[in-house]
Structure 1
Amino acid sequence: MSHTSDHRKGLLLTAIGGLALSIDIPLVRLGEGDIWSILGMRSAATVLATLVILGAMRLASGKWPILVPGRPGLLAGLLYGLSSLTFVLAVFNTNTANVVFIVAFNPMFGALLSWIFLKEKPQPATLIAMLFMILGVGLIVSEGLSSGHAFGDAMALLSALILAAAITVGRASRREMGFVPLLAAFLPAVLGLAQALPSGLAIAHPGWILFNGAVVMPVAFWCLATGPRYLSAPEVGMFYLLETVLAPIWVWLIFAETPAAMTLVGGSILVATIAAHSLWMARRKSIRQVL
């Protein structure tokens, strides 16, 4: 009964995290500001919210939680900070659908980096999934090249690679990294504010950006970081698909931005591949447990 309760808790947490993450890009777009102002305010709000949470935890437990675990934590934090920068650059330089579909390549980058640096050879099914995902990303990037979105698509691909590298560092160190992604927002906050403040912040609707940075992002990261305590990695991966599927829908409903046909084809290949691979891994794990 306890196992069932924990599993339901994990499903609820990851569902909330995935839904919260799916409204990140729409909120950035609703802010209607320049890239440096939004990057700085969104990241600064995340850092301030994290410090408030840490202070509350300190008062409740009488001790500070692990914040940055040594050099691996610093390296992972630098990578998380860079991924935030490249992600926002992607949002401002290509279509939303392109961003979320390309960033969905992150798990396959993770498998590739684990193979190279951690000597964790991927299963044949994972290698096959990589080939299909390369095809999907290739279709989306080819559309970006023809429509002038090449830089934004490249930033989305770089964001996926950097994020996968940060996760790989965390796995290799086997240390607690829960607060590292949130505190790492300090780097893009400093960079964004340094660029924006000399001429003044230029955001038409700052409330959306503050809500995104102070509430949505901490909730999303905390829930998705806690979910793996109760669920298998494939199950958690399925909930990351919520952003991939829902973010373009929210943007289409709010801004009437319709993805290009080639983007939809490539995105469909990516979503179908990730879903099939995650279901295969979950089934394989359940068979092992039975045996």
Structure 2
Amino acid sequence: MTHLSIDAASHRKGQLITAFGGLMLTADIPLIRLSEGDAWSVLAVRSGLTFVTAVIVWLAIRLITGRSIPILPGRAAIAVVTFYILASISFMLAVFATTTANLVFILAFTPMFAALLSWVTLGERPSTATFIAMAVMIAGVALIVADGLAAGHFLGDLTALASAFCLSCAITVSRRSRADMGFAPLFSALVPAIIGLTMAGGPSHIVVEAPWWIVLNGLVVTPLAFWCLATGPKYISGPEVAMFYLLETIFAPVWVWMIFAEEPSRNGLIGGLVMIVTLIVHSLWQLVHNRRMLRTLAPRHPV
């Protein structure tokens, strides 16, 4: 097997792992909303259960295989954990401070943040098409945030933007280190859990009306989603990983509309559609471009 085919196989493996994580993540916001708890209580329970799952799985792997997977592989893992902590807290605040549509549309800016950070830190200069897509997406985000200012959830939109930036930072650092960061975001959930528990006023002040939804989220959905999404950068580029977060952008508003009948505002919908169409067009262009590059690099038999 040639080096090129090995790289292609690794790339496909990374895409499959990350795509599965992105699909699992689409259930996150609906499950949070279904739990009917306050922001800090949900943060404490969801993050605490995610941490418990991480410990159990890590110990099980060690017991069954006899090998110990590093939780923090190198100094870069500390930065990755920090960014995931900030992303988790800002995301949870945004869930309760803005509409689901606005939140996921703004989170769709993650790939563009990742592209810029890859340029600055990894020297991977974005193409002209990517710069054009960024400009269009900035206009879409501006429309959503302006609508949020008028509707009274401007702060929620800003925390959503902060979450997107922190996620892209975590992805970029993971990509740069090329280490297996699968457990890093799961063990980092301990800090948001402690913060949420403290802000809620202790265990006796936890308010979650339908706890089974957040238990399902914390024990299964969130750990699986973030393990897959954190493992992805080992095989594929940061911007590509960030693209799979867009599955939440597409499906989460649909689930919320079906369950809660929550419709996005006109400006929010326009801004979101602008971003989604731009990202789809850009992703298709990137796919075609990458295939052309692979054909160019493929070894040819002499005539």
What is the TM-score with the length of structure 2 in the denominator?
0.88
Find out whether 1:215 has 2:220 as its counterpart. Answer: yes
CA positional deviation for 1:18: 2.2
Identity percentage of aligned residues: 52
Q: Contact 2:185–2:227 (CA<8 Å) still a contact in 1?
A: no
Deviations along 1:106-139, whole A, 9 cap, x unmatched? 1111122222333332111111111011011111
Determine the structure 1 residue equivalent to 2:84.
Answer: 80
Q: Which of 186, 201, 211 is equivalent to 2:190? A: 186
Deviations along 1:6-41, whole A, 9 cap, x unmatched? 887666544432221111001001111111110000
Determine the structure 1 residue equivalent to 2:274.
Answer: 269
Partners of 1:165 and 1:249 lie apart in 2 by: 28
Find out whether 1:252 has 2:257 as its counterpart. Answer: yes
Opposite residue 268 of structure 2, the aligned amino acid is: T
Q: Contact 1:23–1:247 (CA<8 Å) still a contact in 2?
A: yes
Opposite residue 140 of structure 1, the aligned amino acid is: I
Change in Cα spacing, 1:216 to 1:158, as seen in structure 2 (3 Å) is: same
Determine the structure 2 residue equivalent to 1:159.
Answer: 163
Opposite residue 115 of structure 1, the aligned amino acid is: W
* Root mean square deviation, CA, Å: 2.3
Opposite residue 42 of structure 2, the aligned amino acid is: I
Determine the structure 2 residue equivalent to 1:123.
Answer: 127
Determine the structure 2 residue equivalent to 1:46.
Answer: 50
Change in Cα spacing, 1:9 to 1:77, as seen in structure 2 (3 Å) is: closer
Q: How does 1:38-117 map to 2 (within 5 A)?
A: 38-117=42-121
Change in Cα spacing, 1:183 to 1:103, as seen in structure 2 (3 Å) is: same
Of residues 180-189 and 230-239 in structure 1, the stretch that sits farther from structure 2 once superposed is 230-239
Partners of 1:288 and 1:76 lie apart in 2 by: 31
Q: Contact 1:232–1:282 (CA<8 Å) still a contact in 2?
A: no
Q: Contact 1:234–1:279 (CA<8 Å) still a contact in 2?
A: no
Opposite residue 73 of structure 1, the aligned amino acid is: A
Deviations along 1:234-289, whole A, 9 cap, x unmatched? 76555432211110011111111000011111111111111111111111111011
SS in 2 for 1:189: helix
Partners of 1:165 and 1:234 lie apart in 2 by: 11
Of residues 173-182 and 25-34 in structure 1, the stretch that sits farther from structure 2 once superposed is 173-182
CA positional deviation for 1:163: 1.2
Find out whether 1:34 has 2:38 as its counterpart. Answer: yes
Change in Cα spacing, 1:215 to 1:54, as seen in structure 2 (3 Å) is: same
Determine the structure 1 residue equivalent to 2:248.
Answer: 243
Q: Contact 2:172–2:238 (CA<8 Å) still a contact in 1?
A: no
Q: Structure 1 unaligned runs (5+)?
A: none
Change in Cα spacing, 1:75 to 1:14, as seen in structure 2 (3 Å) is: closer
CA positional deviation for 1:192: 0.5
Change in Cα spacing, 1:236 to 1:262, as seen in structure 2 (3 Å) is: same
What is the TM-score with the length of structure 1 in the denominator?
0.92
